[in-house]
């Protein structure tokens, strides 16, 4: 990963956009479905409401809307894109990829397209992949999208998980920059602990969809929350420290951190471990819950639209999730 190589272009974020479904599901709505309370959910997670897609909406539909906004923000046409990467664990189909569906729908005639699956770390993994293509001169304009419709995989009888997740899509256009802005460093990792701790075990080749797997809800989100929590409170600050170290920086030089929005207590723990005030973390978990791969780009695009970022700001993005995986990068803001 490049830190100080000004002879090669860097992958700069030149446009962002996001789309969340209109339907809001509050904690009070969930009180009517499972044995839970607004108080428990707010105190233990920070979530107050989440967005839930209509039955006839698929992941590519909200990804498309987010992509249009990001392209408009970047001031480029879809036909100028070289590559589309969609990070998702909830694609429209097992195949073809959601990225290929978007390539056609956007009219991105020149673009290659593929999906990337590393769960809640997916968008940051996608940004790191985009950086490789841009830094080596292979491509100039890459659209990276994180998009999920998790509500279709929620076990609505499991209060341990159903209160946590929501739907949404966030997108960023990366362009080749020669002015020192863009992705300065990345850190990616995985410990391979698998679906025992977090995943959707059914529906793949290990437990193909069958009446049995469907009736036992094996094709729904399963999580050992405490185990993942213990992992996350270390993984988030540790990956950020490694990205900062690779960029030759310290946390106090960052203007903002855009973390995966899984639990406000995880973000608070990272704030303490990095000695970085909570006010410098972009937090929207109260309104959207955990949107997996869409979490970081929705928070990024929303904060960008609100005018929080200034040209030259150093911003860290960080995700963690199923795999188990983690990913972070340090970006010098180009817009």
What are the start-end ranges of the H helices in 117-252? Answer: 122-135, 159-162, 211-215, 225-246
* Residues, the chain: 335
Sign of the dihedral defined by the CA atoms of residues 293, 304, 134, 239, in that order: negative
Q: Which of 222, 260, 263, 284 is catalytic?
A: 260
Q: Smallest gap, in angstroms, from Cβ of residue 92 to ligand UT7?
A: 21
Q: Which of positions 140-159 make contact with ligand UT7 (CB under 6 A)?
A: 159
Query: Least distance (Å) from ligand UT7 to the CB of residue 67?
Result: 23
120 catalytic, yes or no? yes
| Whole-angstrom distance, CA of residue 79 vs CA of residue 90 | 26
328 beta partners:
187, 318
Decide if 238 is catalytic: no
In 3D space, the residue among 303, 9, 293 whose CA is nearest the CA of residue 174 turns out to be 9
Distance, in Å, from the CA atom of 85 to the CA atom of 104, rounded to the nearest integer, reads 13
Q: Least CB distance from residue 314 to ligand UT7, whole Å?
A: 25
Residue 36 · residue 30 · CB < 8 Å: yes
User: Which one of 152, 217, 229, 245 is in contact with ligand UT7 (CB under 6 A)?
Assistant: 229
268 binds ligand UT7 (CB under 6 A): no
From the list 93-101, 143-151, 224-232, 249-257, the region that binds ligand UT7 by CB under 6 A is 224-232
User: Which residues inside 53-112 make contact with ligand UT7, applying CB under 6 A?
Assistant: none
Q: Select from 135-143, 170-178, 262-270, 325-333 the region that touches ligand UT7 (CB under 6 A).
A: 262-270
Backbone phi, psi, residue 254, to 5°: -80, 135
Is 228 a binding residue for ligand UT7 by CB under 6 A? The answer is yes
Residue 96, preceding peptide bond in cis (omega within 30° of 0):
yes
Nearest to 128 by CA among 189, 177, 46: 189
- In this structure, are residues 59 and 153 in contact, taking their beta carbons and an 8 Å threshold? no
Binding flag, residue 335, ligand UT7 (CB under 6 A): no
To ligand UT7, the closest distance from the beta carbon of 262 in angstroms equals 3
Closest distance to ligand UT7 from the beta carbon of 321 (Å):
4
By CB under 6 A, name the binding residues for ligand UT7: 36, 40-41, 44-45, 120, 159-160, 163, 225-226, 228-229, 232, 262-263, 266, 290, 321
Q: Which residue numbers are catalytic?
A: 120, 260, 290
């Amino acid at each position: 990963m490049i830190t100080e190589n000004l002879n090669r272009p860097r992958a700069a974020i030149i446009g962002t956009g996001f789309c969340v479904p209109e339907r809001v599901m509050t904690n009070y709505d969930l009180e009517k479905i499972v044995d839970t309370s607004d108080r428990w959910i707010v105190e233990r997670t920070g979530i107050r409401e989440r967005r839930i897609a209509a039955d006839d909406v698929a992941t590519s539909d909200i990804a498309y809307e987010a992509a249009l906004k990001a392209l408009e923000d970047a001031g480029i046409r879809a036909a100028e894109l070289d590559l589309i990467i969609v990070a998702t664990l909830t694609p429209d189909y097992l195949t073809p990829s959601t990225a290929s569906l978007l390539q056609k729908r956007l009219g991105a005639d020149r673009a290659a397209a593929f999906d990337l699956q590393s769960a809640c770390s997916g968008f940051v993994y996608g940004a790191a992949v985009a950086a490789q293509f841009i830094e080596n001169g292979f491509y100039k304009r890459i659209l990276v999208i994180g998009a999920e419709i998790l509500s279709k995989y929620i076990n609505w009888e499991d209060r341990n998980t159903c209160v946590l997740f929501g739907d949404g899509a966030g997108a960023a256009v990366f362009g080749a920059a020669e002015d020192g802005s863009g992705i300065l460093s990345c850190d990616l990792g995985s410990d391979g602990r698998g679906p025992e701790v977090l995943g959707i075990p059914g529906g793949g080749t290990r437990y193909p969809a069958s009446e049995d797997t469907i009736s036992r809800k094996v094709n729904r989100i399963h999580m050992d929350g405490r185990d993942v929590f213990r992992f996350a409170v270390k993984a988030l600050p540790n990956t950020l420290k490694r990205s900062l170290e690779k960029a030759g920086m310290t946390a106090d030089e960052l203007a903002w951190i855009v973390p995966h929005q899984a639990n406000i207590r995880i973000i608070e723990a990272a704030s303490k471990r990095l000695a970085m005030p909570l006010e410098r973390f972009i937090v929207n978990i109260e309104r959207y819950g955990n949107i997996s791969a869409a979490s970081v780009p929705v928070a990024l695009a929303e904060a960008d639209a609100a005018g929080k970022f200034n040209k030259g700001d150093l911003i860290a993005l960080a995700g963690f999730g199923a795999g188990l995986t983690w990913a972070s990068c340090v970006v010098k803001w180009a817009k």
